[in-house]
Structures are given as C-alpha cells and as structure tokens.
Amino acid sequence: MNIINIKELPFSSKAALCWSFFWRGIAATLASMLCGALAGGLFGAVIGFVFATAGVAQSSAMSFIQLVGGLLGFIIGLFFLYFYIRWLLSSKLGSFRLLLVNAAEI
C-alpha cells in the first residue's frame, strides 16, 4: 500500500477529493435537518397535545418540549455524523479511498 501525501497530488485530484467530501457532507446535513425537523415536529405535536389535555401550563410544556426536542435533535445529529463518517470510509473519493491503518504500522 502506498501512502500518499495530499501535497503531492495534482490540483484535479485535490478538487475531486474536496468535492467528494463536500457533496456527501451536504447530503448528510440535509438528511439530518429533515429527520430532525420531522422528529421534532411529531414529538412536539404529540407531547403538546398530551400536555394540553392533561391541563399542564403552556410555559411548562414548552420548556419540556424544547429540552427533549433539543436532546432528540442532538441524537439525530450524532447518528448522521456516524453515517457520514461510515459513508466516507466506504466510498471511492475521486480515484482514492480512505483507509484506517494502525499508526504504529506507518
């Protein structure tokens, strides 16, 4: 296996690598935003309805929904970060691939 220094690559290869990272990052970000919005909206609607029928004060309900909604968004964001990293490691990036190697072997 040849170790390649990015400084030695021609501009076209650097551009292909950057583009590969960029478009996958945009796709993962958009998917994360969409899933977070859907999950937050559904969660907020269901919990808001439950709290309203139980007679809980709106300010208390909003505080709870914001807290749990933020936590839900954080978890969804972590999932999509994991997905993005796995996607990068399994994809062809231009004419290259990313590989994890033990640092002691280099």
Instruction: Kindly state whether residue 55 falls inside one of the protein's structural domains.
Output: yes
Indicate whether 81 pLDDT > 80: yes
pLDDT at 3: 82
Q: What's the whole-number average pLDDT of the chain?
A: 92
Q: Residue 55 carries which DSSP code?
A: T
Structural domain including 33 reads 22-105
Instruction: Kindly state whether residue 10 falls inside one of the protein's structural domains.
Output: no
Give the other-Cβ count within 10 Å of 84's Cβ: 18
Helices in the chain by DSSP H: which ranges? 11-54, 58-90
* Number of domains into which the chain is organized: 1
pLDDT class of 49 with cuts at 50, 70, 90: very high
For residue 102, the SS3 value is coil
pLDDT at 90: 94
Helix 58-90 vs helix 11-54: crossing angle, to nearest 10: 150
pTM of the model: 0.81
